[in-house]
Amino acid sequence: MKIAILSRNKKLYSTRRLVEAAQLRGHDVDVIDTLHCYMDITSNNPTVRYKGEALPQYDAVIPRIGASVSFYGTSVVRQFEMMGTFSINESVAISRSRDKLRSMQLLSRKGIGLPRTGFAHQPDNIKDLIKNVGGAPVVIKLLEGTQGIGVVLGETTKAAESIIEAFMGLKANILVQEFIKEADGADIRCLVVGDKVIAAMKRQAQAGEFRSNLHRGGKAEIVKLSKEERDTAVRAAKVMGLNLCGVDLLRSSRGPVVMEVNSSPGLEGIEAATGKDIAAIIYQFIEKNAKPHSTKTRGKG
């Protein structure tokens, strides 16, 4: 097959692994820098141009769109969809997953377990906002944060109020969430491909830290999931409309709760923790499912 990986950097582990695995399986693979693609969006014969030439017709694209380039990246994916190319994750689904609040509203509507969560911009009753998610301790998150930056534990009502006020002063969108204490500093990353969890790892925070991000010194290890955890991850992926994603769960006393669904999950941590050839499994899915003009929203959404 002729496959394009949309990635800003050929040297990233995930991009390298996807190239390697494609070549091993006999595919013809190109890495295309998303931000360098340009296109005539009014043409009725949609094409994508790159380095002075029209790109060939690909059978499939694998978008690896970083959060900071979501807006332009998803429009490039949409253009490929209009050309009839299969994208492992549709542009609409990627946009949906990039909006944390929209994602949580969708997941909640479908009855998927979530930490009790409130969101606000300029609340005029902060005490009520805190009380509404069950009271302190609460986790306060900056909506635009990644890698655990902007995720703070408000241990007491007083502390939580001060943090919320500080974020409000910055005019940031915030999310106030029930603290899942019993997760004990660990979260579970489930890698979903199609309708299966193909790998899972547990990330455990350093002693004295509740954030398990590997960038914050968390350690990853292989984990066995319960059926309920698997079902939750697969359902969350389905609600978001993603064929390839990382679903982050916390083990709460009332069962698994979804923290986040990531549409460009990294392969390095999870391949290392599980020893699985995730890149190969991604291609098995593409080989089976990539059909021309199969994008549900046909780039319209």
Interface with ligand ADP (CB under 6 A): 115, 139, 141, 145-148, 151, 177-180, 183, 187, 205, 210-213, 248, 250, 259-260
- Integer angstrom CA distances of residue 268 from 24, 175, 214: 18, 29, 11
CB of 90 to ligand ADP, least distance (A): 22
| Enclosing H/E stretch for 167 | helix 157-169
55 or 152: CB nearest ligand ADP: 152
Please answer whether residues 149 and 131 qualify as being in contact, where contact means their C-beta atoms are separated by less than 8 angstroms.
no
4 or 258: CB nearest ligand ADP: 258
3-class secondary structure, 273: helix
29 or 126: CB nearest ligand ADP: 126
93 or 139: CB nearest ligand ADP: 139
CB of 176 to ligand ADP, least distance (A): 10
Distance CA 93, CA 81 (A): 13
Partners of residue 142 on adjacent β-strands: 174
97 or 212: CB nearest ligand ADP: 212
CB of 248 to ligand ADP, least distance (A): 6
Distance CA 188, CA 114 (A): 14
CB of 35 to ligand ADP, least distance (A): 23
Distance CA 76, CA 62 (A): 12
CB of 167 to ligand ADP, least distance (A): 14
Distance CA 210, CA 109 (A): 28
178 or 271: CB nearest ligand ADP: 178
Sort strands 53-54 and 138-142 into parallel, antiparallel or unpaired.
Answer: unpaired
Taking alpha carbons only, the member of 218, 198, 217, 203 closest to residue 284 is: 198
Q: Is 298 exposed, middle or buried (0-12, 13-18, 19+ CB in 10 A)?
A: middle
CB of 103 to ligand ADP, least distance (A): 12
Return phi, psi of residue 119, to 5°.
-135, 155
CB of 148 to ligand ADP, least distance (A): 4
Please answer whether residues 243 and 193 qualify as being in contact, where contact means their C-beta atoms are separated by less than 8 angstroms.
yes
Distance CA 36, CA 238 (A): 31
146 or 157: CB nearest ligand ADP: 146
CB of 73 to ligand ADP, least distance (A): 18
Which residues, other chains included, contact 297 with Cβ-Cβ below 8 Å and sequence gap of 6+?
81, 90, 91, 92
16 or 141: CB nearest ligand ADP: 141
3-class secondary structure, 274: helix
